[in-house]
Structure 1
Amino acid sequence: MPALTIRLAQGTPCWVSLMTDDLPGAREFYGDLLGWTFSPGPGQLGDYVRARLGGEPVAGLGVSSVAGFPVQWTTYFAVDDADRSAQLVRECGGTVAVGPLQAERAGRLAIAADVSGAVFGLWQGEEHPGREAGPQPGGPAWAELLTPDADGAAVFYRSVLGVPVAETGGGAALLVDGRPVAGVRRGAELRGHPPRWRTHFAVADVDLTARRAVELGGRVLVGPQPTPRGPAARLADPRGGHFSVLQTG
């Protein structure tokens, strides 16, 4: 009898992965800042490790095989069929850069870009279903798309992921089982940067985390400030990878 595969609901942000040109440095920075330990990841993904929090996987870190590829975090969405979802990306005007491909027995993945060029991933979980965002310090807490075309993005993700998109005070939100799981916002602060999904990690104290990031060689891009989801700050790691921290305690 085949093993039962349990996946997160279609459209749920389920994983985040950093592509960097300095994996040892990233392990040291994020391990200290967010309390992570590390274990090997699927061999097909090259030099790749899983970050763990309390023994549970929360994120992936790898080395990009593409010269000049920017250091960045990628948000993955749970899908029931990665091949079908990748085809929908193409039909809706996006592009598929990687895959779909099998990551050993962990699952099947694809890396794509939406109509504005924002990169995201598709994950069909098998042995590794992924992890849903939550308030636990050190883990992913929220995903938000910054884009010059929030309306077009809402149509794209609704069509590709098959989930409702509701208007909010500051943009829109992707809904799974009636609750918001990711935000879509017109990114006035892009200032020449390409549209992107922003990864937020939960922390107990955003001010202390921002100061510690600087001590570890990172930068504060936007200092701690109130947001609808709680105090947050935008940071960069020593190699320029942007991410946010959100105080959930």
Structure 2
Amino acid sequence: MTEVWGSSGTGEEEGPRQASGTPCWTGLLVHDLEATKEFYGALFGWSYYDPGPRHLGPYVRATLDGRNVAGIGELPHDRQLAGSWTTYLASDDADVCAEWIHCAGGTVGVGPLAAERAGRLVLAADPAGASFGVWQGQRLLGSRPERTPGTPVWHELVTHDASVVLKFYRALFGYEAKAAGDMDGETVTLHVDGRPVASIRSAGPALRQPHWMPYFEAADVDAAAGRVTELGGRVVSAPQETPAGRVATVTDPEGSAFTLLRTAR
């Protein structure tokens, strides 16, 4: 399990809590923590620190310019789960949110539980099986408006049918949803307080496993995609132009998918 808390240290975010439903953190579960640190460090220039004692195994926070970017935790050696990125959505009340997840057809796997003095956490799956987290507490880093290379700038749920799971997420967070044309299929943009915060994209029945996809800003998507291959990862979708900017979907050496984005200026 990827934790989003720890003792106070480098890169703690300050300011008001994010609005409910806003992506506020992204974490990664892996089998080889040291190799994963090397991969993302070489790709994005991330540095790492240990946020403090925990009982669930090795864990680090990745930073850029002294600010938290993401969390990486190592799976127990006896767990054969595939590594994956997890998007955490802010909540005003994690306990109420967990109840709504049950009522709306989702599954709660962990929590609600206290994250030391930092807040409360829920790990869950939506009705289509996509895993996500719910976070209530201190401000954490979601999408970065300054578009700094190496930081998460967008989060997208890739699922079989956007219209099916849209009802689930709107019940949880009260999103305003707006349809958007997309060359790959139906896309719905989720808004909080009139501001776009995430999207849901229909990928059709051929999709193996619905999942939340983090987008990381890249100064040069083509060069970054090439670097992914050099470092042992794989390019899933070659660089291409989209209304949002130039993108390429890739995986790290363990197979965890993420998207590189050069935001349209």
- Among residues 210, 219, 226, which one is paired with 1:211 in the alignment? 226
Q: Report how far residue 197 of structure 1 moved.
A: 0.8
- Among residues 77, 90, 103, which one is paired with 2:102 in the alignment? 90
Amino acid of the residue matched to residue 94 of structure 2?
A
Change in Cα spacing, 1:125 to 1:18, as seen in structure 2 (3 Å) is: same
Structure 1: runs of 5+ lacking an equivalent: none
**Partner residue in 1 for 2:73:** 62
Regions of 4+ moved over 4 Å:
none
Q: Report how far residue 171 of structure 1 moved.
A: 2.1
What pairs with 1:1-249 in structure 2 (closer than 5 Å)?
Answer: 6-41=16-51, 43-65=54-76, 67-126=79-138, 129-134=139-144, 135-169=147-181, 170-188=186-204, 191-248=206-263
Do 1:15 and 1:131's aligned partners in 2 also have CA atoms closer than 8 Å? yes
Structure 2: runs of 5+ lacking an equivalent: 1-13
Q: Report how far residue 20 of structure 1 moved.
A: 0.5
Task: Give SS of 2:242's match.
Answer: coil
CA distance in 1, matches of 2:118, 2:217: 25
Do 1:45 and 1:103's aligned partners in 2 also have CA atoms closer than 8 Å? no
Let me know the Cα RMSD of the aligned residues. 1.7
Amino acid of the residue matched to residue 60 of structure 1?
G
Q: Which moved more, 1:42-51 or 1:159-168?
A: 42-51
Q: Report how far residue 192 of structure 1 moved.
A: 4.2
CA distance in 2, matches of 1:155, 1:67: 33
CA distance in 2, matches of 1:149, 1:27: 34
Do 1:94 and 1:114's aligned partners in 2 also have CA atoms closer than 8 Å? yes
CA distance in 2, matches of 1:87, 1:186: 26
CA distance in 1, matches of 2:236, 2:107: 30
Q: How many residues align?
A: 243
Do 2:83 and 2:255's aligned partners in 1 also have CA atoms closer than 8 Å? yes
CA distance in 1, matches of 2:88, 2:207: 24
Amino acid of the residue matched to residue 50 of structure 1?
R
Do 1:41 and 1:49's aligned partners in 2 also have CA atoms closer than 8 Å? yes
TM-score by length of 1: 0.92
Q: Report how far residue 151 of structure 1 moved.
A: 0.8
Q: 1:35-84 CA deviation, whole Å, 9 max, x = no partner?
A: 11111135254311111111010100001247121110001101111111
Q: 1:113-140 CA deviation, whole Å, 9 max, x = no partner?
A: 00100111101122xx111313111100
Amino acid of the residue matched to residue 219 of structure 1?
R
Q: Report how far residue 106 of structure 1 moved.
A: 2.9
Do 1:44 and 1:103's aligned partners in 2 also have CA atoms closer than 8 Å? no
Task: Give SS of 2:79's match.
Answer: coil
Do 2:29 and 2:85's aligned partners in 1 also have CA atoms closer than 8 Å? yes
Change in Cα spacing, 1:76 to 1:199, as seen in structure 2 (3 Å) is: same
Q: Which moved more, 1:43-52 or 1:15-24?
A: 43-52
Q: 1:140-192 CA deviation, whole Å, 9 max, x = no partner?
A: 0111111112112111101012222222224211101212110111114x734
